[in-house]
Structure 1
Amino acid sequence: MSARALSFGAVAEAYERFRPGYPEELFEVVMTYAGRPVRTALEIGAGTGKATRLFAGHGVAVTATEPDAAMLAELNRAVPANVTPVRASFEDLRPGGTHGLVYAAAALHWTRPEGRWSKVAALLEPEGVFASFGGPVQLADPAVEESVRAARAPFLDSDEIPSPDGTAPDEQMQWPGTELQRSPLFHDVRQHVIERRLTMSAPDYVGHLSTISAYLQLPLPTRLQAFDAITRVLPGTVEIAADITVHLARRRPA
């Protein structure tokens, strides 16, 4: 697992405070696709439990796996009794019981590609559902976005994570749907976008940036300089585009 993947524990409290949660519509999209009751789920890279709470809140018994102790401690503060936290990376999970749903919330890109889909399939019941969802948080106003990009440029070229398989941004099917379509272990691959606009204060937006892995890789003095430069060009309140792209697939029967 890369250093970027394990960088979030140092800002676990900020992650919980500033990262947006997940809307009810996401649960509805996944359950409508499943087409049957889902009683158990395994979550890959649960973080502080933002998606965990959504699914567990609807009665799904969630096994929430997370490799970072600080993130898991934050998760433990506010999850229902039907959540079983497990400190483990996806790669360290051992074969055991299967689940009706395996999902990853803005975490799948941190897993190693070798054996990824065979392990997911092994964790799923036949015709069980895999779901991956997330997306970048971007400034909705192009002028503000350009001002922030210019302010950030001396410190960081980009704060985005490129597609793990090189899929171009203008392709209709995005990763991981592209990999799922190529895998013989899955079928009925679908992509769904939940459009979302949020408003936050400038300090909260910078707080959100403080949880982005690209910034966390900068030396602390450089990171603080970048945040100071960005703060100076922000209006008091910003609108952000935080669309959620959902990828869904079913495990083929053995």
Structure 2
Amino acid sequence: MEVFGSVADLYEKVRPGYPAGVADAIVAYHGGVPGSVAEIGAGTGKGTEILAAIGVPMTCIEPDPRMAGRLSVKFPQAQVYLGTFEQWTPPPDGVAVLACAMAWHWLDPATRNTRARDALAVGGALALFGHRYSYADARQAAAIRSALDALDPTVKERPADWMYHDVMASGEFTDVCVERFRHDLPLTRDRYLALVSTFGPFLTRPPELQQRGLDLLGQVVDDFGGTVVLDLRTTLTLARKPAEVPS
């Protein structure tokens, strides 16, 4: 996850936040205001903004010192742990809510669900949420997909409900469900390209490939009048730690 520290300022500026309904859904699922919240991979605090609105003691787990520094300034009421989720030691009785916004895929698939279960209090809630960047114009979506495939056909998008299926397949939780939110987000050409510049698949490519990608996408946006309208879809997966581990 430390790949994003190099673009922390840009990340904070252009990454869209989350709908307030995410926090409401977490509280409702929990059965009332939880006693504590911990967030995995908090970044610059896009998800933290929503979680902080719950108004309870909060721990932000973030391995990149540049991101963690931003969190400390932006959320002085939160305890910021500099390190990975794997390095973090949860409180003895666990946390009431363990959340993760757009970072679940960075955790070890073999252990992330077990670690999450172990970090929760009995009956506590796991809340995984993230955006899927679709496009309001189907023709523009096809043109952008074609440009990206021409640049690097190995990059594949995860299914929208992949976190739900990941949690279900682990067998570690009960009452697994999904909540969905969506809205249109218009972006100028420059704003869209700046957003793309904060994506993991972009940041892990060589600089020359990054520039080729921006040039290709910029041309596509120009061909559509210089604007992109994102069909921004937010998926929230909720799950509960059972009193006993399912056999």
How does the TM-score come out when normalised to structure 2? 0.89
User: Does the Cα contact within 8 Å between 1:22 and 1:50 map onto a contact in 2?
Assistant: yes
Q: The residue matched to 1:195 in structure 2 has which SS?
A: strand
Please give the per-residue CA displacement for 1:47-92, whole angstroms capped at 9, x wherever unaligned.
111111211133122100011112222323322x321111111121
Matches of 1:108 and 1:129, distance apart in 2: 15
Q: Residues of 1 paired with 2:209 and 2:168: CA distance?
A: 41
1:219 aligns with 2:214: no
C-alpha distance after superposition, 1:173-231 (max 9, x if no partner):
x3332233344431111111112221111111111100111111221122112102211
For the aligned residue pairs, the C-alpha RMSD in angstroms reads 1.9
Q: 1:211/1:159 Cα in 2 relative to 1: closer, same or farther (>3 Å)?
A: farther
Percentage of pairs with the same residue: 29
- Post-superposition CA distance 1:70-124 (Å, at most 9, x none): 2222323322x32111111112122434111001001111100222222112211
Q: Does 1:141 align with 2:131?
A: no
Number of matched pairs: 240
Measured in 1, the distance between the counterparts of 2:230 and 2:103 equals: 21
- CA distance in structure 2 between the partners assigned to 1:179 and 1:208 by the alignment: 27
What does residue range 131-170 of structure 1 map to in structure 2 within 5 Å? 131-157=127-153, 159-162=155-158
Amino acid at match of 1:102: L
Structure 1 residue runs of 5 or longer lacking an equivalent are: 164-168
Provide the rounded CA distance (Å) in 2 between the counterparts of 1:216 and 1:20. Answer: 18
Q: Match of 1:249, SS?
A: strand
Q: Which has the higher helix share?
A: 2
Residues 247 and 115 from structure 1, CA distance in 2 versus in 1: closer, same or farther, beyond 3 angstroms? same
Shift of 1:150: 3.1
The unaligned stretches of length 5 or more in structure 2 are none
Does 2:219 match 1:232? yes
Secondary structure at 1:136 match in 2: strand
Q: 1:17-96, aligned counterparts within 5 Å? A: 17-79=13-75, 81-96=76-91
Q: Distance in 1 between matches of 2:165 and 2:149?
A: 31
